[in-house]
Chain A
Amino acid sequence: MKHVDEYRRKEVVAELAREITAKIDRPVTLMEVCGTHTMAIHRHGIPDLLPGRLRLLSGPGCPVCVTATVFIDAAIGLSRKYGVTVATFGDLVRVPGTWRSLERRKAEGADVVTVYSPLDAVSLAERRLDRQVVFLGVGFETTAPTVALSVREAKRKGVRNFSVLVGNKLVPPALRALLQDEEVNVDGFICPGHVSTVIGARAYEPIVDEFGVPCVVAGFEPVDVLAAVLWLVEMVVENAPRVRNAYTRVVTDDGNPAALECMYEVFDVEDSAWRGLGRIPASGLKMKEAYGKFDAQRRFDIEMEDVPDESGCRCGDVLRGVIEPTECPLFDEGCTPQRPVGPCMVSSEGTCSAFYKYRRK
């Protein structure tokens, strides 16, 4: 596969691992904030290749994991309404809300459909005029423009039976919240490569300026990840924090203006509740007035009030990197991929799920 295989070469990976080990002179804690990074790291067995002094944490990078329970409950509520088809990315299907998941709702007869692209949900609405198709909009800045464009297309084509329950979130505010959190101790961030194709490498400069924590934009192949780790370790050791871009083949300084423009044409920014992190200012998206007709919250008069979580689930602490999955009392004791309590275990790239699947030794 072009632009993929070259970054999976064993010798290059080995060399990078060697250099990381040679360079590191103290315990270093790095955090990645992208579910896809969590998966990629575990899929290739990268933890095995890193020196013991390097701690690699999985932060709140799985959009499914940080989606507030109340959002799932709202989706489930929608699935109960007569004539509603809930269209969703596969990632959300097994996430438990307060009582149920969409998967279980499907078993109960709800019309829940998995789509690969939000545009497919629009097409579905065009084909099935007898249904109200509600698309569950989750994901960070990689996905938000695609949801936005789908809404724009729906408007352009006059698709009246399509709406979006907006739950998209933004990454930089979460990084800020993490660094302001006293319990969180991170020496450097592996920044999400594909979010960065949209927002640009420069988006992390305020973080470096304010907190002095180095940031490296990284791709997802083993070579990409290790190169980013190496650069972060170098910057930590040399105490020379800045933003570096290790994914230049698709990330520019300023990102993708067309995608950003579309995103901000359709969405406004608002404060948003992140599971485990609480309310983070200016960290979520909501539908703009001009597209209000396509806002499922408005169309179906949905309230999304936060509810306290009393299950004993410590996803929040896991997401902040404060504890390892194995330190959660529910890990493998009542919370497993088959019967997950929290989203960290459900989502295939949730930290707990990755741990359970790949490192449960």
Chain B
Amino acid sequence: MNNDEKIILAHGSGGKLTRDLISASLLKKFSNPVLAELDDSARVEVGSNRICFTTDSYVVKPLFFPGSDIGKLAVYGTVNDLAVMGADPLYISCALIIEEGLERSVLERVVDSMADACQVAGVSLVTGDTKVVESGSADQLFINTSGVGVLPEGKEFGIDKITAGDRVIISGTIGDHAIAVLAARQDLGLKLSELESDCAPLNRLIKTVIHRFDGIKFMRDPTRGGLATVLCEIAETAGVSVQVRDEMIPVRREVSGICEILGFDPLYLANEGKVVMVVDDAIADELCDALREEDLGEDAAVIGEISGENPGEVVLRTAVGGSRLITMLAGDQLPRIC
């Protein structure tokens, strides 16, 4: 990618272009072993403490959508980035970039939602920053949150722990968040009856299972880029192949409906309250059952397995007995007629 080019929206969609941007423009300049891991959070040591540290920015439009809003998203998103590392989220920061002209009441609503979310997740917002920019320079409101959490003793998770024979679990239905946001945007004229964003803090769910089970190798939350992107990242980084079965992947009917209408593939849609886990074969079924006992895991399913053949490949077995490769998308999906 040459430096004369412009950044396009697709660079932010979490797929291949995002990764290329990060590796070409960012990784090289900031090279250090912690960053190179490119995990959901950075694992650092401060004195004798093993800490996770993460940051994320939230630019969702519209600000409010079924089941959630930018504030809740900003808190839970960061909490989840810590939780999937196995860390116990403790403190978050919040930086607001507010567009001149934003209604005060809108800001209050967002902040109330954030405060609520902190309570639910059990984290404290301990520091922050507020900036106001000229009208047109930010789309109403941008929020950045950073967070720190503590890694438990004696538990190691990492993409390098994944081996052939492991199985893949998703904690629930995919695509809910992306579709809830899409439907709220009005311009496509699609109305939902029940569907809401799945935006939720995963720390308690994850804590329950990591303390109960040994054999959880790796976890990641399938946010932008969706489940497919996480599976591709696993295949590529761990040097394994992943096989999943279409019929096992839980999808809500409204998500299926909208995907059929617009020509979207739910595998690439963002989720904000789900976790992908790669676990030892021996515990997979029991762990999945344990997830299903919890509110946030009621639709959990074992969707596939890891193998050593054809490393880097992700194969989906279709419901009619065929198969196809799953690859990373270049950008966001667009509604199509063909």
Contacts from A to B (Cβ < 8 Å):
1, 4, 8-10, 13-14, 34-36, 39, 42-49, 62-64, 89-91, 93-94, 103-104, 106-108, 114-117, 120, 139, 142-143, 222, 337-338, 347-349, 356-361
Contact = CB atoms under 8 A, between A and B. Distances in A.
Contact of B321 (A13, A34, A337, A357): A13
Contacts of B336: 89-91, 348-349
A49 B325 contact: no
Given A13-B320, A114-B335, 18 more contacts: A8-B320, A9-B320, A35-B338, A43-B324, A44-B318, A44-B324, A45-B322, A45-B324, A48-B321, A48-B323, A91-B334, A103-B8, A104-B8, A106-B9, A107-B9, A116-B188, A120-B187, A338-B17
B121 to A, nearest CB: 35
Contact of B330 (A36, A104, A143, A337): A337
Given A4-B260, A116-B262, A348-B263, A139 B337 contact: yes
Contacts of B323: 45, 48
B173 to A, nearest CB: 16
A360 B327 CA distance: 10
Interface string B312-330: 0100111111111101011
Contacts of B322: 44-49, 222
B6 interface: yes
A222 B320 contact: yes
B6 A358 contact: no
Nearest to B256: A1
Contacts of A103: 8-10, 331
Give the one of B20, B325, B331 with max A CB within 10 A.
B325
A44 B10 contact: no
B316 to A, nearest CB: 8
Nearest to B318: A45
A91 B337 contact: yes
A63 B321 contact: no
Given A43-B318, A49-B321, A143 B257 contact: no
B330 A1 contact: no
12 contacts: A44-B319, A45-B316, A89-B338, A91-B336, A94-B334, A103-B8, A116-B262, A347-B338, A348-B263, A357-B325, A359-B324, A359-B325
B338 A10 contact: no
A36 to B, nearest CB: 6
Given A108-B6, A120-B187, A356-B327, A349 B320 contact: no
Contact of A349 (B20, B187, B338): B338
Contacts of A117: 189
A139 B336 CA distance: 11
Contacts of A39: 263
Contacts of B9: 103, 106-107
Contacts of A143: 337
A139 B338 contact: yes
The majority secondary structure among interface residues of chain B is loop
B35 to A, nearest CB: 24
- CB-based closest 9 A-B pairs: A45-B322, A90-B334, A107-B8, A48-B322, A358-B324, A35-B338, A13-B320, A45-B318, A338-B330
Contact of A10 (B10, B316, B319): B319
B46 interface: no
A93 B334 CA distance: 8
Contact of A63 (B316, B329, B335, B338): B338
Nearest to A223: B320
B5 to A, nearest CB: 8
A39 B263 CA distance: 10
A116 B8 contact: no
Interface in B41-57: none
A81 to B, nearest CB: 20
Contacts of A361: 313, 325
B61 interface: no
A62 B7 contact: no
B257 A1 contact: yes
A34 B333 CA distance: 20
A117 B188 CA distance: 8
A63 B323 CA distance: 26
Given A90-B335, A348-B263, A10 B8 contact: no
B16 interface: yes
Nearest to B325: A358
Contacts of A45: 316-318, 320-324
Nearest to B338: A35
Contacts of A120: 187, 189
Contacts of B335: 89-90, 114-116
A116 B324 contact: no
